[in-house]
Homo-oligomer: A and B are copies of this chain.
Amino acid sequence: MHHNRTFTIRQLTKEFEVTARTLRFYEDEGLIAPERRGQTRIYSGRDRARITLILRGRRVGFSLAEIREILDLYDQHHDRGVAQTLHARKKFEEQLHKLERQKVDIEESLGELHRAIAAIDQAMAEGVPTAPSVEAHRIEQHHPHRHAAE
Interface residues of A (CB under 8 A from B): 29-33, 45-46, 49-50, 53, 56-57, 59-61, 71-79, 82, 85-86, 88-89, 92-93, 95-96, 99-103, 105-110, 112-114, 116-117, 120-121, 123-124, 129, 132, 134-141, 143, 145
Contact = CB atoms under 8 A, between A and B. Distances in A.
Contacts of A141: 30
A25 to B, nearest CB: 11
A89 B145 CA distance: 27
Contacts of A121: 89
Contacts of A92: 113, 116-117, 120
Contact of A105 (B56, B71, B114): B56
